[in-house]
Each structure stands twice: as C-alpha cells, then as structure tokens.
C-alpha cells in the first residue's frame, strides 16, 4: 500500500494481506487466556458486577482520556461525579462521558451487533452534546509542535465502506484467526479509518474491550489497555505507523498481546484485592455497626468510593439525616474518612482508593 502523509490514505480492506506465524504468538496467547479465564471467574463472583466495577471503569476512563491530553485523576472524577453537572470541571465531564459510553455500549450490545450502529451510539455518548457522527470532510493528524502532517486518513466518502468491512471482519468466525490477534488487527484498522472529527482514539479503545465481550473472552467490560498504552505511548504510535508505512503487523500484534496479558494480570490482581476488602468490610461493619448494616450499604461503599449523604440517601431510599448518621458512624469506626469540599460533605473509602491507585 502506497503512503503519503499529505494525501488521503488508500486503506486496504480487511483481512490484511499479511504473513505471520501464529505459533510465534502462542506463548502470549496461552498466558492471556489463563489470565482472562481467572478474571472472568472473579467478575462472576461479584454480587453486583457492573455497579462494583464502576470505579475500575472510571480508572480506565481517566487513563484513556489522558492519552488525548485530557488530564485529571481518579479521585477527582469520583468526587465530581457526585456534583451537579454545572459544577463539574470540563476534564472530569469528559471522563464521565467516557465512562457512560463504555457502560452504554455494553448495554446496547445486548440488542445491537458490534458494528456501525454501536459505534455511532458510543460516539454520541462520548461527545455528549457536541457534534457527533462520521466526519463529512477530510481531516489529518499533525505534529502538535511543528504542525507537520503525519497522517491523512481515508476520504470521508470511503468511511461507510470501510466501517462496513470492519464490521464484517469482526463477525467472521470462520477465518480461524485467534480473537486476540483479530482484536489487535481490528483496532489498527479503526484507528486508520479515523472516522470522526474527534474521539477516534477513545472510541477505538472502547471497541477493543467490547470486542472481547463479543467473543466471550470476557463477560463484563473490565479489561482495558489505556494504562499500558499510556506507559508506552510513543511505541504505540510508532507501531501503528509501521503498519501504515511498511505493512509491519507482527510487531504491533506482539505489542498488543503483551498489553492484553499485563493488563489482564493487573486487573485480576486488583479485583482480587477489592473482593478481599469487600469481604472484610461486610464482616466488620456487620459486627461493629449492626444497627445500620445491610449488604446494599456495603456494596454502595465500593461502587462509590467517595460518597455524600445525598447520594447514599438516594441509593438506599432513606432520608438525608439518616444517611448522614450512617456515614458519621462509619467514619467514627474508621471505615470511611470525612472531608469537606466547599458545601459538600464527602466520605471516602480510603482503603479502596489505595487499591484503585495501585
């Protein structure tokens, strides 16, 4: 495939015309599947998976947004999600839109196949009130310092054809390509199509985890590569470019497989620590605070590591004063720490926050 950075790239359709020995990736594939199997098992053991995984999804949302130079912290987002939207800072709003796009995409996938409609639905949630949908004009990727054109994506007229081909490829189960390798290939292709004016990278990273759910390697969207990509960002872009300019798929596939393995291992270990802490909190709160204990209360403390009396009252359907009394008692017993931010009384599950930051 010919390449000129300043001309719309004539992106070949999938499957790619590549020669690689899948056996050379066997080590990674076996290790990843072991980790994914254990991770899937842990997620099944959670009493309310999507609710309890919400903080982990926010962690991914922060990491993915950081790749796009939207900078904040997990703690700030967990805090600001409790505030009215008008009081949230823009960077935290962007991260919360990303979180909603992951969860919304997962829910939508129960009724809509992984493809065009789902992609547009994710993008709409990601951009929220801004213009969404496939671009109608030519765009290009430039060096932010020198303004040098690094890549000109395919023409807007080719987007529907290329997305249709992408959709056909991810649903083709007869090609005998390992789903993990296919996930890496599909990720490159989506980034190369660059179908949107904004939000391409974030949409592409959401599609990766939803693809793993689609092929049943995961039951819930809990494996994310953004942390890994952030730690190796320059290499990630170099390897993407290596496919575009030299058709070098092998190095990119190996890079992605290594990322799947490392992130699956990290996520599994973190989820195990969360489950251990959840068990401890259940037992200790039941013992130390029997007058307020309920399984729902403990789950909420893990779904919202930072919480206010208003939010707790809403979730448990109890009065504000009752919720305040619950949180004060949990603070007195050292389960939560109290902090006032402006007019808001925040109660923080510091032990859980420590795990999430790890």
Same domain, 113 and 217: yes
Check residue 346 and give its pLDDT.
98
The pLDDT-based confidence of 132 (bands split at 50, 70, 90) is confident
Same domain, 126 and 94: yes
Residues 353-358, mean pLDDT to the nearest whole number = 89
Check residue 21 and give its pLDDT.
72
Instruction: Answer yes or no: are the C-beta atoms of 311 and 82 closer than 8 Å.
Output: yes
Instruction: Answer yes or no: are the C-beta atoms of 90 and 301 closer than 8 Å.
Output: no
Rounded Cα distance, 221 and 102, in Å: 8
Range of the domain at 129: 22-34+48-265
First CA to last CA distance, the chain:
43
Residues 295-306, mean pLDDT to the nearest whole number = 96
Over residues 198-211, the pLDDT tens digits come to: 999 999 999 999 99
What CATH number corresponds to the domain at position 339?
1.10.10.10
Q: Give the Cα-Cα-Cα angle 156, 60, 52 (nearest 5 degrees).
A: 125
Same domain, 219 and 301: no
Same domain, 178 and 297: no
Q: For the packed helices 350-357 and 249-288, what is the interaxial angle rounded to 10 degrees?
A: 170
Q: What is the largest CA-CA distance in the chain?
A: 71
41 falls within a domain: no
Same domain, 105 and 223: yes
Classify residue 291 as exposed, middle or buried by CB count within 10 Å of its CB (0-12, 13-18, 19+): exposed
Structure-token pair, residue 281? 């909190």
The pLDDT-based confidence of 20 (bands split at 50, 70, 90) is confident
Check residue 1 and give its pLDDT.
56
Output the CA–CA distances (angstroms, integers) from residue 329 to 304, 325, 326, in the order listed: 17, 6, 5
Residues 316-322, mean pLDDT to the nearest whole number = 98
What length is written for the chain?
358
| DSSP 3-state of 306 | strand
Instruction: Answer yes or no: are the C-beta atoms of 94 and 81 closer than 8 Å.
Output: no
| DSSP 3-state of 337 | strand
Of 58, 39, 52, the C-alpha closest to 102 is 58
13 falls within a domain: no
278 falls within a domain: no
DSSP, residue by residue, 243-304: HHHH--HHHHHHHHHHHHHHHHHHHHHHHHHHHHHHHHHHHHHHHH-TTT--HHHHHHHHH-
Rounded Cα distance, 89 and 80, in Å: 8
Residue 146: φ, ψ to 5°: -95, -15
Buried/exposed 171-201: b ≥16 CB within 10 Å, e otherwise: eeeeeeebbbbbbbbbbbbbbbbbbbbbbbb
Q: Which residues pair with 102 in a beta bridge?
A: none
Check residue 22 and give its pLDDT.
77
Structure-token pair, residue 83? 């505030």
Rounded Cα distance, 58 and 101, in Å: 11
Same domain, 118 and 176: yes
What number of other Cβ atoms are within 10 A of residue 344's Cβ? 16
Residues 263-283, mean pLDDT to the nearest whole number = 94
Same domain, 126 and 253: yes
Output the CA–CA distances (angstroms, integers) from residue 296 to 52, 54, 323, in the order listed: 11, 15, 13
Query: Across the chain, what does the average pLDDT equal?
Result: 94
Structure-token pair, residue 102? 């992951």
Number of separate domains in the chain? 2
Q: What is the CA radius of gyration of the chain?
A: 22
Asked which of 19-23, 111-115, 123-127, 335-339 is least confident by mean pLDDT, the reply is: 19-23
282 falls within a domain: no
Q: Residue 340: enclosing H or E segment and its boundaries?
A: strand 337-341
Check residue 46 and give its pLDDT.
83
Over residues 137-159, the pLDDT tens digits come to: 999 999 988 999 999 999 999 99
57 falls within a domain: yes
Residues 64-81, mean pLDDT to the nearest whole number = 94
Same domain, 353 and 258: no
Q: Give the Cα-Cα-Cα angle 235, 238, 244 (nearest 5 degrees).
A: 145
């Amino acid at each position: 495939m010919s390449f000129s950075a300043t001309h719309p790239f004539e992106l070949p359709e999938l499957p790619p015309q590549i020669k690689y020995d899948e056996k050379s990736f066997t080590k990674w594939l076996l290790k990843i599947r072991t980790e994914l199997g254990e991770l899937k098992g842990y997620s099944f053991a959670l009493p309310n998976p999507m609710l309890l995984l919400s903080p982990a999804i926010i962690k991914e949302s922060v990491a993915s947004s950081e790749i796009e130079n939207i900078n904040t912290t997990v703690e700030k987002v967990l805090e600001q999600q409790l505030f009215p939207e008008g009081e949230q800072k823009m960077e935290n709003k962007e991260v919360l839109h990303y979180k909603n796009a992951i969860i919304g995409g997962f829910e939508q996938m129960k009724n809509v196949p992984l493809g065009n409609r789902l992609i547009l639905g994710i993008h709409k949630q990601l951009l929220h009130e801004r213009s969404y949908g496939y671009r109608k004009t030519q765009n290009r990727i430039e060096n932010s310092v020198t303004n040098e054109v690094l890549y000109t994506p395919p023409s807007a007229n080719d987007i529907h054809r290329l997305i249709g081909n992408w959709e056909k490829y991810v649903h083709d189960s007869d090609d005998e390509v390992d789903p993990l390798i296919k996930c890496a290939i599909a990720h490159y292709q989506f980034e190369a199509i660059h179908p949107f004016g904004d939000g391409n990278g974030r949409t592409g990273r959401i599609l990766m985890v939803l693809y793993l759910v689609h092929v049943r390697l995961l039951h819930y969207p809990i494996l994310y590569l953004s942390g890994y990509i952030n730690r190796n960002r320059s290499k990630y872009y170099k390897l993407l470019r290596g496919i575009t300019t030299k058709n070098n798929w092998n190095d990119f596939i190996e890079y992605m497989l290594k990322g799947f393995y490392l992130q699956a291992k990290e996520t599994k270990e973190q989820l195990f620590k969360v489950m251990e802490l959840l068990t401890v909190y259940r037992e200790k709160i039941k013992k130390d605070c029997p007058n307020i204990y309920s399984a729902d209360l403990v789950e909420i403390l893990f779904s919202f590591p930072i919480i206010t009396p208003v939010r707790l009252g809403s979730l448990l359907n109890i009065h504000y004063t009752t919720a305040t009394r619950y949180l004060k008692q949990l603070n007195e017993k050292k389960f939560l720490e109290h902090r006032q931010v402006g007019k808001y009384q925040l109660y923080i599950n510091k032990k859980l926050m420590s795990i999430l930051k790890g």
